[in-house]
Amino acid sequence: MPELPEVEAVSSVARRALAGRTVVALRILRKRICAPQRPATVERHVAGRRVVAVERRGKSIEIQLDGATLWIHLRMTGNLYPIADARLRAHSVTACFELDNGRALVFDDPRGLGVLRLGPAPPAGIDPLRDEFTAERFVALAGRGRGAIKTWLLDQRRVAGLGNIYAAEALFQAGIDPRRAGATLSKTRLERLHRAIVAVLGDAVESASLAYQRPGGLAEGELFDPAVYGREGLPCPRCRRRVRRFSQGGRSTYFCPGCQR
């Protein structure tokens, strides 16, 4: 599933393609993407409306129109990109926004697991790329956590959009064992983790944006070089101890037993 940096890169592409445009027609080509809503209802509410804004909300993308709102979740293989003509769309396109400049924005999803529905994006926790993600607020929330800090970070009701890769990398940068409970960590260590999350995601967003080089050409994490994620058995870049992996909440967690305590 695309993580926050990849979703940010895709939303930036969609924002540029839709800026100031009017959606002449929305064609939903795979009915299940808007279930339980009816495709005809969604298409009717979007047609003829001007795009006001495109925003990322956690791992969702929200398209705000003058009088309606759509939210999109990319799921495993979804992507949004512009094409010169709606008739040139690929067979894997599940929805197509026909624009007033003759171009189109397509929702390309080979596995067909993505979501496109009327209404705002579902409620989520604080977004680590927004001003609301202050050190004070993060420390207050994380400091009450009784479970493992890594599992806490992945709960979208608490931190919206932070995924497995970047949670592991932020915990490594902050020198925190992913099994520690937030309530056992000092204010100083939680502030260090807050800074690490912001720094890791900043680098990853830049990487994801550079990796998006052409329509449909997003290579996830192509330029992002993980320190621990996916490096089981390899030497830690800091202390040279072997990186370890274990299962945590149904996900693989990578960490350095020498640096993270």
At position 218, the amino acid (one-letter code) is L
Query: What is the rounded CA–CA span in Å between residue 135 and residue 192?
Result: 9
> 2 catalytic, yes or no?
yes
Catalytically annotated residue among 2, 39, 178, 226 = 2
> 6 catalytic, yes or no?
no
> 251 catalytic, yes or no?
yes
Residue 105, strand partner residues: 82, 97
What phi and psi, each to the nearest 5 degrees, are found at residue 152?
-60, -45
Query: What is the rounded CA–CA span in Å between residue 182 and residue 95?
Result: 42
Query: What is the rounded CA–CA span in Å between residue 255 and residue 209?
Result: 27
- Could you tell me which of 218, 196, 187, 49 has the C-alpha nearest to residue 118? 49
Catalytically annotated residue among 44, 251, 257, 261 = 251
Q: Is 88 helix (H, G, I), strand (E, B) or coil?
A: helix
Catalytically annotated residue among 49, 57, 59, 192 = 59
Query: What is the rounded CA–CA span in Å between residue 143 and residue 17?
Result: 41
Q: Is 28 helix (H, G, I), strand (E, B) or coil?
A: strand
- The CA-to-CA distance between both ends of the chain, in Å, stands at 29
Q: How many CB atoms lie within 10 A of CB 74?
A: 24
At position 143, the amino acid (one-letter code) is G
At position 152, the amino acid (one-letter code) is W
- Could you tell me which of 206, 63, 222, 58 has the C-alpha nearest to residue 129? 58
Write out the catalytic residue numbers: 2-3, 59, 251
